Structure 1
Amino acid sequence: MDLGVVEPERAGTTALPGGRRLGWAAWGPVDGRPVLFCSGAAMGRSLGFGAGLLQRLGVRLVAVDRPGLGASDPDPGRTLDSWARDVADLVAALGLRDPLAVGFSQGAPFALACAAAGVVQAVAVVSGQDDLGDPQLAGLLPAEVAGMVGAARTDPAGFEASLARSMNAETLWRIVMDTSSAADRAVYTDPRFEPAYRRALAEGFAQGAAGYARDLALTFGRWPFALTAITVPAHLWYGAHDPGATHSPDHGTRLSRRLPNARHHLLPDAGAALLWTHAEEVLAGLVAPI
């Protein structure tokens, strides 16, 4: 199975107007349609997807480290809205025309923030986390997740500080393995994938756990934008074998109902790792003419 994971072809950091720098990595033709990749929990910029497809599809994939992760400078007070502004500045600095976005797992709220701010022209949400505090999900979340959502919304500073003390790359790897389906574990432990995934997690925690903790506080906390106000095309991709507590086929169905221009895809043979097992479908659907 070709999971489309190779070393970045280009990587760098770009200064934002305020002086902070964002780290990024890129694959594919430099004149291709820009697709910004908002990766999953604590994943650094080196883990891409679909590498063997990019030239044929005319895609320039650009993975961006969120502030405090990988090669991006910290921004302790950041929000989902400020992330979208950072990405808009990066797009301008790199000269990326008419960008699109992919958000995987915990990266989905960050991709949706860019869509809500008008930074991207379309978005693909892959095994993406929903707004877990939405009333539609009340009573459907596992007790542990519901407790974390409550803590993130009632005591965000304490929630963030606790995570920053307790999390690291190895702990997160074990959590992923313990909560994944057999189909997904087969992908994550593939000898060509596991080293790249572990390297990306090491990058994500290279500055400590504060960046990851801030990410979780933002995605579990109150989102500052309304999903119903996102009018760009939103392609939602979920696998039937995704047992995730924060993203699942059921969550994808509910999310699709609140996005005005949603196109919902449920793949019966896939799990949460469909970004790597079904990359062609995701990318081809995203770049197809509207």
Structure 2
Amino acid sequence: MSLHVTDPVRIGTERLSGGRRLGWAEWGPVDGVPVLLSPGAATSRHLGFGGETVDGLGVRLISLDRPGLGASSPRPGRTFRDFADDIRAFAALRGLGRPLMVGNSQGAPFALGCAAAGVVGALAVVSGADEIAAPCFADALPGELRRLVDLAVSDPAAAEKVFAGFTAQAMWDMVMSGSPECDLAVYQQPAFVAAYRRALGEAFAQGGDGYARDTVLAMGHWGIELSDIGVPVDLWYGEKDTGHSPDQGAELASRIPGAVRHLVPDAGGAVLWTHAELVLSTLLRHAPVS
């Protein structure tokens, strides 16, 4: 399939309390329905999705750099609650109200934290990283991943030191070696390669600490009260995606009141790009009526 990856049409930073910066990039009309993007692991604001559909759908897509990645200031020791507080402040500064949100891959638990905190009005989790430290997955993880999860739970500081040694090239190699053919057909297209490589480079521009903190949080016990989520949540997984959730989000969906789980036939982890219009149009059904 042909993939349409576009550069942002607007880019900038917001100053949060204490002077920290939060980097953002936007696609679509400035007066469109605000949809925040919490990107996947070690990717910056520059890797968006749905560039060919946002104008037609009337979506103002805003991708955010998490602290310590890209253009966002570090926030050592941050938590999912801290991230939700940052997004609440960002939305207030930009006049976004309670925006819709998309959480992709490792960005999913951060987005779920925002939903649990009441910061966003609805959420789409796309190829979302699951809470693999949960006891129900103890026997479902391969040995090396199990070891890293145990370390993230028992000694988060030691785990952060391990993950801080990652680089943009190491992340690229891991994704390319561990993806099914249906995903590689997307990831190896020249336009995607250029955008993804740029996003990886920017994410590691400040070093590996931002990625390391993200990964320790995502791999450990989340501490997010998923049962408190009171906004609509759709979960999207490709049928061939086994890398983000051992059961493709089945158990995760059961923990979120009213969540709807979608399994996309013949798709892998690249659903965010292969089915962007479907994800966004479904999310827009939950937008407030103006």
TM-score of the alignment, normalized to the shorter chain, above 0.5: yes
The Cα shift of 1:202 comes to 0.4
Alignment of 1:270-289 (within 5 A): 270-289=267-286
Q: In 2, distance between residues paired with 1:275 and 1:162? A: 29
Greater CA deviation, 129-138 or 85-94? Answer: 129-138
Q: Which residue of 2 aligns with 1:247?
A: 245
Q: Which residue of 2 aligns with 1:71?
A: 71
Q: In 2, distance between residues paired with 1:289 and 1:88? A: 19
The Cα shift of 1:2 comes to 4.2
Q: In 2, distance between residues paired with 1:98 and 1:2? A: 34
Alignment of 1:8-47 (within 5 A): 8-47=8-47
Q: In 2, distance between residues paired with 1:135 and 1:251? A: 16
Question: How many residues end up aligned between the 2 structures?
Answer: 287
In the alignment, residue 134 of structure 1 is paired with which amino acid?
A: A
Deviations 1:29-66 (A, max 9, x none): 11111111000000000010001111111111000000
Q: In 2, distance between residues paired with 1:143 and 1:229? A: 33
Q: Structure 2 length normalisation: TM-score? A: 0.96
Deviations 1:226-265 (A, max 9, x none): 2222121110000011131x435x1311111111120110
Q: Which residue of 1 aligns with 2:90?
A: 90
Q: Structure 1 length normalisation: TM-score? A: 0.96
In the alignment, residue 128 of structure 1 is paired with which amino acid?
A: G
In the alignment, residue 170 of structure 2 is paired with which amino acid?
A: T
Alignment of 1:109-148 (within 5 A): 109-148=109-148
1:126 touches 1:236 (CA, 8 Å); kept in 2? yes
In the alignment, residue 211 of structure 2 is paired with which amino acid?
A: Y
User: Quick check: 1:217 aligned with 2:216?
Assistant: yes
Q: Which residue of 1 aligns with 2:49?
A: 49
Q: In 2, distance between residues paired with 1:90 and 1:146? A: 36
Q: In 2, distance between residues paired with 1:45 and 1:103? A: 13
Aligned CA distance change for structure 1 residues 83 and 279 (closer, same or farther; 3 Å): same
Greater CA deviation, 216-225 or 56-65? Answer: 216-225
1:33 touches 1:97 (CA, 8 Å); kept in 2? no
Deviations 1:116-171 (A, max 9, x none): 1100011100010111111222211122212111100100001101221x210001
The Cα shift of 1:289 comes to 4.0
Q: Which residue of 1 aligns with 2:102?
A: 102
Q: Which residue of 2 aligns with 1:174?
A: 173
Q: Which residue of 2 aligns with 1:191?
A: 190
Where structure 1 has 5 or more consecutive residues not aligned to the other structure, the ranges are none
Poorly superposed stretches of 4+, deviation over 6 Å: none
2:122 touches 2:286 (CA, 8 Å); kept in 1? no
3-state DSSP class of the match of 2:213?
helix
In the alignment, residue 12 of structure 1 is paired with which amino acid?
A: G
The Cα shift of 1:95 comes to 0.9
User: Quick check: 1:161 aligned with 2:161?
Assistant: yes
Deviations 1:190-223 (A, max 9, x none): 0111110110000100100010001001111221
The Cα shift of 1:74 comes to 0.4
Where structure 2 has 5 or more consecutive residues not aligned to the other structure, the ranges are none
In the alignment, residue 70 of structure 1 is paired with which amino acid?
A: G
2:132 touches 2:245 (CA, 8 Å); kept in 1? no
Identity percentage of aligned residues: 54
Q: In 1, distance between residues paired with 2:212 and 2:60? A: 29
2:34 touches 2:99 (CA, 8 Å); kept in 1? yes
2:26 touches 2:63 (CA, 8 Å); kept in 1? yes
Q: In 1, distance between residues paired with 2:286 and 2:215? A: 34
1:105 touches 1:247 (CA, 8 Å); kept in 2? no
Deviations 1:74-93 (A, max 9, x none): 00121111001001100111
Greater CA deviation, 215-224 or 78-87? Answer: 215-224
Q: In 2, distance between residues paired with 1:17 and 1:59? A: 28
3-state DSSP class of the match of 1:62?
strand
1:237 touches 1:267 (CA, 8 Å); kept in 2? yes
